[in-house]
């Protein structure tokens, strides 16, 4: 399943990929590595924590400023925030101040899925200010979220993308670890950009970030009275997110309705699904994953999954497409260039597409649920759960099923909520249901990566959400 969307870049990605790894199928494209030349000037990694701790804030900002000829007048800042000194665990961030009204614009954190997918995938292919062209040059994205949001990307968990640790103990084993490390990074971010501390803050992401987002938001919520920096959390938004596997794995009925499997195939899916759900119910999470590897994933051995055998599909995130575009390869090559490394202050640090190591440490997390955290958070903060209509790996009916089973005070109101049309410039962009703080949205004609497939509508959606306007 996509849920283990591994970091999609990595200096030695192809060389480090192996057939038998733990995790869901990588819906983010497998990228080539682009080793550096021996004499290329990549600069040095910028570790900002010592500046922050010594109060050298302006000096830190100046050092973190990103200057690159192709980025023109777009301001941004990047570098490393140390989240564990003992283990030398460091998280890479890239921050883009809002183009409009930066002083009061919401701060939006974007997290990619995986486990192990770099958030730079979202930056360059979904909602950031830039795209990479076929000629390996930058072009401006018209519908970037940074127009009216202070937009922050963090490579998460440690070991993903440019984030790294020097010890195996530094890798996250569960969502508590994920939430704690991200919280430590955010505290430093808001110390560095202290002028943004009063601004509304939103945690957003897609896919396996359906676990990361509530994990971080819950950590912020529980530490609101003890955190060294007050983080003004206002809401969370999850796109096509894996959050509650036991209620999100009924692929058979969905694929049957699409016509991708027949009745005989449906019966085979039901057998696997029941077995996997039984394992989850018994807290046998490794066994549950192995069942679903056989069902839809197919990554643990060379034998194709049942899904692959019955459909011939290897592409899980838009049932209208059979393969990805080349855009991701262009991004992979551009982001690993020496001049780019120097500009974003990562030096010669590896672009860890050994995200297999991130997955391996989170293998017992894959089929666990974070629904309990969503249930608590939805009582206190605006909570947006949106889904692309055309996704397979986290299909809309699967997400709706988990929401229908969510145990929270607004459960009955959600079940009875009327569905309304969401209109953007006269077009039906999708449909929405609201119950208390919870908003559920179907985005029409979009697959797994909604901002990439429908950028205009995605910008409208996030803007309405962060501004508190109805959808």
String of DSSP letters for 323-352: S--SHHHHHHHHHTSHHHHHHTT-TT---B
pLDDT at 20: 33
Residue 222 has pLDDT above 80, yes or no: yes
| Greater model confidence, 351 or 240 | 240
In this structure, are residues 463 and 235 in contact, taking their beta carbons and an 8 Å threshold? no
In a domain, 299, yes or no: yes
Q: Which H or E run includes 58? A: helix 57-64
The neighbouring-strand residues paired with 150 are 107
Q: Specify the CATH number for the domain of residue 33.
A: 3.40.50.1820
pLDDT tens digit sequence for 37-54: 557 899 999 999 999 999
In a domain, 317, yes or no: no
pLDDT at 24: 52
The percentage of the chain sitting over the pLDDT mark of 70, rounded to a whole number, equals 89
Q: Are residues 251 and 341 in the same domain?
A: no
Q: Are residues 173 and 256 in the same domain?
A: no
Instruction: Please identify, among 311, 334, 351, the residue that sits at the C-terminal boundary of a domain.
Output: 311
Strand order in the sheet with 201-206: 77-84, 89-96, 150-154, 107-111, 201-206, 233-239, 382-388, 438-443, 427-435, 420-424
Q: How confident is the model at residue 409 (pLDDT cuts 50, 70, 90)?
A: very high
Residue 15 has pLDDT above 50, yes or no: no
pLDDT at 14: 29
* For the chain, the helix, strand and coil percentages under 3-state DSSP, each to the nearest 5: 40, 15, 45
Residue 422 has pLDDT above 70, yes or no: yes
Q: How confident is the model at residue 304 (pLDDT cuts 50, 70, 90)?
A: confident
Instruction: Please identify, among 267, 282, 311, the residue that sits at the C-terminal boundary of a domain.
Output: 311
Give the mean model confidence (pLDDT) for residues 439-446. 99
Supply 75's token pair.
């301001």
In a domain, 450, yes or no: yes
pLDDT at 55: 97
Q: Are residues 220 and 145 in the same domain?
A: yes
Q: Are residues 94 and 153 in the same domain?
A: yes
Instruction: Please identify, among 266, 284, 311, the residue that sits at the C-terminal boundary of a domain.
Output: 311
pLDDT at 313: 86
Q: DSSP assignment, residue 296?
A: I
Residue 188 has pLDDT above 50, yes or no: yes
**Which single residue is written with the structure tokens 């807290």?**
283
In a domain, 336, yes or no: yes
pLDDT at 364: 87
Residue 17 has pLDDT above 50, yes or no: no
Q: Are residues 292 and 434 in the same domain?
A: no
Look up 207 and say whether it is catalytic.
Answer: yes
Q: Are residues 398 and 284 in the same domain?
A: no
Q: In which domain, by residue range, is 413 found?
A: 2-244+324-466
Q: Are residues 272 and 394 in the same domain?
A: no
In a domain, 337, yes or no: yes
Q: How confident is the model at residue 6 (pLDDT cuts 50, 70, 90)?
A: very low
Mean pLDDT of the chain: 90
pLDDT at 37: 59
How many angstroms separate the CA atoms of 3 and 26, rounded?
8
How many angstroms separate the CA atoms of 242 and 1, rounded?
10
pLDDT at 300: 54
Q: Are residues 424 and 295 in the same domain?
A: no
Q: How confident is the model at residue 322 (pLDDT cuts 50, 70, 90)?
A: low
How many angstroms separate the CA atoms of 260 and 276, rounded?
21
Look up 391 and say whether it is catalytic.
Answer: yes
Among the residue ranges 103-112, 302-311, 321-330, the one predicted with the least confidence is 321-330
Q: Are residues 257 and 297 in the same domain?
A: yes
pLDDT at 88: 97
Choosing from 84, 183, 448, 460, which is the catalytic residue? 448
Choosing from 244, 299, 391, 453, which is the catalytic residue? 391
What's this model's pTM, rounded to 2 decimal places?
0.92
Task: Count structural domains, the chain.
Answer: 2
In this structure, are residues 419 and 362 in contact, taking their beta carbons and an 8 Å threshold? no
Residue 26 has pLDDT above 60, yes or no: no
In a domain, 318, yes or no: no
In a domain, 471, yes or no: no
In a domain, 316, yes or no: no
Choosing from 78, 207, 328, 343, which is the catalytic residue? 207
Among the residue ranges 13-22, 56-65, 160-169, 260-269, the one predicted with the least confidence is 13-22
Among the residue ranges 4-13, 353-362, 396-405, the one predicted with the least confidence is 4-13
pLDDT tens digit sequence for 132-159: 999 999 999 999 999 999 999 999 999 9
Nearest to 80 by CA among 345, 353, 332: 345
Give the mean model confidence (pLDDT) for residues 10-20. 33
Q: Are residues 152 and 32 in the same domain?
A: yes
Give the mean model confidence (pLDDT) for residues 437-443. 99
pLDDT at 3: 42
Q: Are residues 354 and 461 in the same domain?
A: yes
- Helices in 88-208 by DSSP H: which ranges? 120-122, 175-192
pLDDT tens digit sequence for 284-297: 999 998 888 888 76
Q: Are residues 239 and 252 in the same domain?
A: no
């Amino acid at each position: 399943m996509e849920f283990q969307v591994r970091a999609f870049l990595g200096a030695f990605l192809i060389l480090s990929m192996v057939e038998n790894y733990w995790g869901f199928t990588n819906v983010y494209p497998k990228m080539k590595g682009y080793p550096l030349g021996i004499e290329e000037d990549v600069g040095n990694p910028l570790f900002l924590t010592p500046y922050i701790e010594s109060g050298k804030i302006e000096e830190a900002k100046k050092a973190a400023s990103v200057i690159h000829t192709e980025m023109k007048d777009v301001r941004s800042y990047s570098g490393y925030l140390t989240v564990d000194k003992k283990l030398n665990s460091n998280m890479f961030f890239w921050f883009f101040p809002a183009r409009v009204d930066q002083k009061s614009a919401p701060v939006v954190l974007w997290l990619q899925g995986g486990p192990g997918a770099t958030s730079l995938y979202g930056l360059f292919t979904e909602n950031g200010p830039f795209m990479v062209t076929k000629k390996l040059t930058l072009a401006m994205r018209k519908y970037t979220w940074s127009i009216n949001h202070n937009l922050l990307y963090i490579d998460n968990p440690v070991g993903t993308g440019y984030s790294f640790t020097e010890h195996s103990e530094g890798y996250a084993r569960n969502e508590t670890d994920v939430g704690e490390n991200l919280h430590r990074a955010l505290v430093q971010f808001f110390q560095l950009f202290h002028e943004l501390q009063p601004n509304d803050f939103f945690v957003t992401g897609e896919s396996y970030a359906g676990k990361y987002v509530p994990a971080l938001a819950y950590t912020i919520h529980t530490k609101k009275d003890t955190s060294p920096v007050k983080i003004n959390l206002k809401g969370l938004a999850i796109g096509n997110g894996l959050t509650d596997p036991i209620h999100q794995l009924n692929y058979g009925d969905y694929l049957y309705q699409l016509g991708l499997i027949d009745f005989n195939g449906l019966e085979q899916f039901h057998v696997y699904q029941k077995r996997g759900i039984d394992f989850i119910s018994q807290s046998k999470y490794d066994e549950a994953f192995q069942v679903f590897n056989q069902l839809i994933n197919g990554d643990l051995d060379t034998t194709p999954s049942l899904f692959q055998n019955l459909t011939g599909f290897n592409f899980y995130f838009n049932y209208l497409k059979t393969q990805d575009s080349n855009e991701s390869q262009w991004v992979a090559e551009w982001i690993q260039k020496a001049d780019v490394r120097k500009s974003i202050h990562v030096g010669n640090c590896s672009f860890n597409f050994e995200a297999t190591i991130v997955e391996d440490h989170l293998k017992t997390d894959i089929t666990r649920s974070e629904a309990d955290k969503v249930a608590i958070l939805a009582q206190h903060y605006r909570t947006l759960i949106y889904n692309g209509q055309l996704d397979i790996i986290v299909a809309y009916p699967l997400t709706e099923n988990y929401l229908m089973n969510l145990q929270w005070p607004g459960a009955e109101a959600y079940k009875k909520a009327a569905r309304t049309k969401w209109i953007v410039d006269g077009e039906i962009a999708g449909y929405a249901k609201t119950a208390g703080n919870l908003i559920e949205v179907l985005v029409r004609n979009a697959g797994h990566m909604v901002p990439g497939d429908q950028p205009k509508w995605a910008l409208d959606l996030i803007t309405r959400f962060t501004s508190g306007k109805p959808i």
